[in-house]
Amino acid sequence: MDIVLQQLVNGLTLGSVYGLIAIGYTMVYGIIGMINFAHGDVYMVSAYLTAISIALLTFFGVQSFPFIIFGALVFTIVITGAYGWVIERVAYRPLRNSSRLSVLISAIGMSLILQNYVQLSQGPNQQGVPTLLSGAFRFYVGDGFVQITYMKVMILLIAFTGMAVLTYIIQKTKLGRMCRATQQDRKMASILGIDTDKVISSVFVIGSAMAALAGVLVTLDYGAFDFYIGFIMGIKAFTAAVLGGIGSLPGAMLGGIILGLSESLFAGLVSSDYKDVFSFSLLVLILIIRPSGLLGKPAVEKV
């Protein structure tokens, strides 16, 4: 029982990270109907920015953990948001009225540019950050115990807080109303006076900010990273977005949680070597039953 509970905790933490990154995929697809395949590499850039921000804060004498976390979050989110804005302006806006294949090639090209840019500027070797928050809660269950590190608790709190804030922005603010209007009918939204170009740029910035949030949390938890981590994490997050229903914000978070839980439970109870096989098999099974994903809306063909 303690093994199952421990894997549930690990899976929930991992799933919340997948969900944060998946939000970027699902928001971009919901607005322009295209996949931002450079999104995983934006997450990778945020890992390096986290290390740079911690080094800068330490250099200037900041030793308090809350100030370091806050400073790293602000620095990384701002810079990564700027990356998202540039990606939209360079790789997507000039090709918005072109074929989907052209946009796909452009997005893959931007992904390769980011990977090689980081590899050349930061080096190909794995890098890391020191452990800033140690310790854990222990809950005894029978003869064993379930351990939840302070870092995992912080990941869960920040991840779900970020999701709640984003939900409020989309549902209750003027920007959110413009995003929803643009998603429903971009041409009509433009006729009604909404600057759809600005809305689309804002969506890329918000998606990149959520990836940055995940990047800071994962970097502080695992400590090690390299220029290739964006590919694997991007594939997993895209899978989570598809699983939950591409274009649905709650679906992205739900898909992330399900993917994280399935990976952790299978790795802990069966074999870690085949956890990805199990996760993608689960994705295929769900898509056979619900082709639009768990919370996605079926596509309606316009006549």
In whole angstroms, how far apart are CA 94 and each of 102, 103, 104, 179, 286? 10, 9, 13, 20, 36
Q: Which of 65 and 300 is assigned the larger pLDDT?
A: 65
Q: For 272-278, what is the mean pLDDT? A: 84
- Residue 278's pLDDT is 85
Neighbours of 158 (CB within 10 A): 18
Q: Which of 272 and 215 is assigned the larger pLDDT?
A: 215
- Residue 1's pLDDT is 67
Reply yes or no on whether the pLDDT at 178 is more than 90. yes
Q: What is the residue type of 182?
A: T
Neighbours of 59 (CB within 10 A): 8
Residue found under tokens 């804030």: 165
Distance in angstroms (rounded) separating the CA atoms of residues 291 and 57: 47
Reply yes or no on whether the pLDDT at 58 is more than 50. yes
- Residue 33's pLDDT is 84
Report the predicted TM-score, pTM, of the whole model to 2 decimal places: 0.91
Closest CA to 87 of 204, 209, 199, 231: 204
Reply yes or no on whether the pLDDT at 225 is more than 80. yes
Q: For 289-301, what is the mean pLDDT? A: 75
Reply yes or no on whether the pLDDT at 302 is more than 80. no
pLDDT digits (tens, 9 = 90+) for 229-267: 998 898 899 989 998 988 888 899 999 999 999 999 888
Q: Which of 273 and 143 is assigned the larger pLDDT?
A: 273
Sort 241 into a burial class: Cβ within 10 Å, 0-12 / 13-18 / 19+: buried
Reply yes or no on whether the pLDDT at 300 is more than 80. no
Q: Domain extents for the chain?
A: 15-228
Q: For 173-180, what is the mean pLDDT? A: 92
**Ramachandran quadrant class, 105 (left: phi over 0; alpha: psi -120 to 50; beta: rest):** alpha
